Amino acid sequence: MTAVSSSPAPATADNGRRRRRRTVLVGWSFVLPNFLGFAALTLVPVVGAFVVAFTDWDSYSTPNWVGTANFRRMWHDDNFWTAVRNTCWYAAGHIPLTLAASLGLAVLLNQKLRGVGILRTAFFFPYVTSLVAVAVVWNMLLSPDMGPVNQVLRHLGWSHPPGWTTSTDWSLPALILTSVWRDMGYYMVLFLAGLQTIPAELYEAARMDGAGAWTRFRHVTLPGLRPTTYFVMIMLTISSFKVFDLVQVMTEGGPGRSSLVLSQLIFREGITQGRFGYSSAISLALFVIVLAITLVQFRFQRRSER
Amino acid sequence: MRKTTARVLPVALAATLFGAAACGGGGSSTTSDGRTTIKIALWNYKTTPEFKALIDGFEAKYPKIHVEPVDILADDYSDKVTTMLAGGDKTDVLTMKNVTDYARYGTRGQLLPLTDYVGKLPDKASYSGLEDFDLGGKYYALPYRQDFWVLYYNKALVGDADMSHLTWDQFDTLAKQSTKGSGSSKVYGTYLHTWRSVVQAIASAQTGGDLLKPDYSWMKDQYTVALDIQKAGATIPFGTAKSQKITYDSQFTTGKAAMVPMGTWWGAALLAEKAQGKNPVDWAMAPIPQIADDGKTTTFGSPTAFAVNKKARNADAATTFVEWASGPEGAAAVAKIGIVPSYHSDSVMNAFFGVAGMPTDALSKQAMQPSKVQLEMPVSDKSSDIDQILTEEHELVMTGEKSVDAGIKEMDSRVKNEVQ
Q: What is the pLDDT of residues B348-396, one digit of tens each?
A: 888 999 988 899 999 999 998 888 899 998 888 788 889 999 999 999 9
How many Å apart are CA B213 and CA B87, to the nearest integer? 34
Please list, in sequence order, all residues whose beta carbon lies within 8 angstroms of the beta carbon of residue A259, skipping any fewer than 6 positions away: A86, A90, A171, A172, A175, A247, A251, A253
Q: What is the pLDDT of residues A142-158, one digit of tens each?
A: 988 778 999 999 999 88
Which chain A residue has its CA at the smallest distance from B386's CA? A273
DSSP letter at A220? I
Chain B, residues 14-33, CB within 8 A of chain A, namely: 14, 17
- Is B384 an 8 Å CB contact of chain A? yes
- Is A136 an 8 Å CB contact of chain B? yes
Contact B384 A273 (CB under 8 A): yes
B375 with B349: CB under 8 angstroms?
A: no
pLDDT of residue B208: 92
- Is B233 an 8 Å CB contact of chain A? no
Q: Chain A closest CA to B231's CA: distance in Å?
A: 14
- Is B75 an 8 Å CB contact of chain A? no
Q: Vertex A100, ends A95 and A106: CA angle to 5°?
A: 125
Instruction: Return the closest-CA partner of residue A59 out of A48, A70, A69, A68.
Output: A48
Q: Which residues in chain A are contacts of B7 at CB distance < 8 A?
A: 25-26, 29
pTM to 2 decimals? 0.80
Query: pLDDT at residue B16 above 80?
Result: no
Query: pLDDT at residue B63 above 80?
Result: yes
Domains belonging to chain B, first-starting first, are 36-147+302-353 (3.40.190.10), 149-300+361-418 (3.40.190.10)
How many Å apart are CA B376 and CA B300, to the nearest integer? 5
How many Å apart are CA B118 and CA B135, to the nearest integer? 13
CB count within 10 Å of CB B333 equals 25
Q: What is the pLDDT of residues A252-287, one digit of tens each?
A: 887 889 999 999 999 989 888 888 999 999 999 999
How many Å apart are CA A206 and CA A198, to the nearest integer? 13
Contact A255 B237 (CB under 8 A): no
Please list, in sequence order, all residues whose beta carbon lies within 8 angstroms of the beta carbon of residue B116, skipping any fewer than 6 positions away: none
**B contact test, residue of A136, A166, A168 with most B CBs within 10 A:** A166
The length of chain B in residues reads: 420
Q: Chain A closest CA to B398's CA: distance in Å?
A: 10
- Is A61 an 8 Å CB contact of chain B? yes
How many Å apart are CA A289 and CA B4, to the nearest integer? 47
Which chain A residue has its CA at the smallest distance from B107's CA? A61
Of A58, A139, A256, the CB nearest to B392: A256
Instruction: Return the closest-CA partner of residue A72 out of A293, A290, A282.
Output: A282
A225 with A245: CB under 8 angstroms?
A: no
Contact A163 B237 (CB under 8 A): no
- Is A56 an 8 Å CB contact of chain B? no
- Is B414 an 8 Å CB contact of chain A? yes
- Is A140 an 8 Å CB contact of chain B? yes
Q: What is the pLDDT of residues A188-217, one digit of tens each?
A: 999 999 999 999 899 999 999 988 889 999
Q: Which residues in chain A are contacts of B399 at CB distance < 8 A?
A: 163, 166-167, 255
B398 with B193: CB under 8 angstroms?
A: no
- Is A185 an 8 Å CB contact of chain B? no
CB pairs under 8 A between A and B: 102
- Is A126 an 8 Å CB contact of chain B? no
Query: pLDDT at residue B26 above 60?
Result: no
Classify residue B117 by burial, with Cβ atoms within 10 Å: 0-12, 13-18, 19+: middle
**A contact test, residue of B8, B100, B243, B389 with most A CBs within 10 A:** B243
Assign 3-class secondary structure to chain B: CHHHHHHHHHHHHHHHHHHHHHHCCCCCCECCCCCEEEEEEEECCCCCHHHHHHHHHHHHHCCCEEEEEEEECHHHHHHHHHHHHHCCCCCCEEEECCHHHHHHHHHCCCECCCHHHHHHCCCHHHECCHHHHEECCEECEEEEEEEEEEEEEEHHHHCCCCCCCCEHHHHHHHHHHHCECCHHHCEEEECCCCCHHHCHHHHHHHHCCCCCCCCCHHHHHHHHHHHHHHHCCCCCCHHHHHHCCCCHHHHHHCCCEEEEEEECHHHHHHHHHHHCCCCCCCEEEECCCECCCCCCCEEEEEEEEEEEECCCCCHHHHHHHHHHHHCHHHHHHHHCCCCCECECCHHHHHHHHCCCCCCCCHHHHHHCCCCEEEECCCCCCCHHHHHHHHHHHHHHHHCCCCCHHHHHHHHHHHHHHHCC
Q: What is the pLDDT of residues B402-416, one digit of tens each?
A: 999 999 999 999 999
Q: Chain B closest CA to A91's CA: distance in Å?
A: 23
Torsion sign over Cα B412, B415, B417, B420:
negative
Of A25, A36, A255, the CB nearest to B17: A36
Please list, in sequence order, all residues whose beta carbon lies within 8 angstroms of the beta carbon of residue B120, skipping any fewer than 6 positions away: none
- Is B4 an 8 Å CB contact of chain A? yes
Of B7, B79, B242, the CB nearest to A272: B79
Contact A166 B242 (CB under 8 A): yes
pLDDT of residue B64: 93
How many Å apart are CA B239 and CA B342, to the nearest integer? 35
Q: Which residues in chain A are contacts of B83 at CB distance < 8 A?
A: 59, 271
Instruction: Return the closest-CA partner of residue B379 out of B369, B370, B371, B387.
Output: B387
Of B17, B243, B417, the CB nearest to A143: B243
For residue A209, give the 3-state DSSP assignment. coil
Q: Which residues in chain B are contacts of A61 at CB distance < 8 A?
A: 108-109
Of A58, A146, A168, the CB nearest to B401: A168
Mean pLDDT of chain A: 88
Extract long-range pairs of B400-407: CB within 8 Å, 24+ residues apart: B400/B227, B401/A167, B401/A168, B401/A255, B401/A256, B401/A258, B402/A256, B404/B219, B404/B220, B404/B223, B404/B224, B404/B227, B405/B220, B407/B223
Q: Chain A closest CA to B230's CA: distance in Å?
A: 14
Extract long-range pairs of B353-359: CB within 8 Å, 24+ residues apart: B355/B271, B356/B271, B357/B271, B357/B274, B357/B275, B358/B267, B358/B271, B359/B283, B359/B284, B359/B285
Which chain A residue has its CA at the smallest distance from B184's CA? A146
Query: pLDDT at residue B109 above 70?
Result: yes
pLDDT of residue B15: 46
- Is A37 an 8 Å CB contact of chain B? yes
How high is the ipTM of this complex?
0.78
Q: Which residues in chain B are contacts of A272 at CB distance < 8 A?
A: 78-79, 384
Q: Chain B closest CA to A60's CA: distance in Å?
A: 5
pLDDT of residue B291: 93
Please list, in sequence order, all residues whose beta carbon lies within 8 angstroms of the beta carbon of residue B68, skipping any fewer than 6 positions away: B37, B38, B39, B40
Note the Cα B21 to chain centre separation in Å: 36
Residue A306 pLDDT level (bands cut at 50, 70, 90)? low
pLDDT of residue B347: 87
Q: Which residues in chain B are contacts of A273 at CB distance < 8 A?
A: 384-385
**Alpha carbon distances (Å) from B280 to B25, B180, B192, B357:** 47, 19, 21, 12
Q: Chain A closest CA to B76's CA: distance in Å?
A: 10
Q: At residue B329, what are phi and psi to the nearest 5 degrees?
A: -70, -40
Residue A2 pLDDT level (bands cut at 50, 70, 90)? very low
- For A29-38, what is the mean pLDDT? 90
Residue A17 pLDDT level (bands cut at 50, 70, 90)? confident
Q: Which residues in chain A are contacts of B401 at CB distance < 8 A?
A: 167-168, 255-256, 258
Q: At residue B373, what are phi and psi to the nearest 5 degrees?
A: -115, 115
How many Å apart are CA B151 and CA B163, to the nearest integer? 9
B28 with B21: CB under 8 angstroms?
A: no
Q: Chain B closest CA to A200's CA: distance in Å?
A: 45
Q: Chain A closest CA to B86's CA: distance in Å?
A: 5
Query: pLDDT at residue B18 above 50?
Result: no
- For B151-167, what is the mean pLDDT? 91
Query: pLDDT at residue B5 above 70?
Result: no
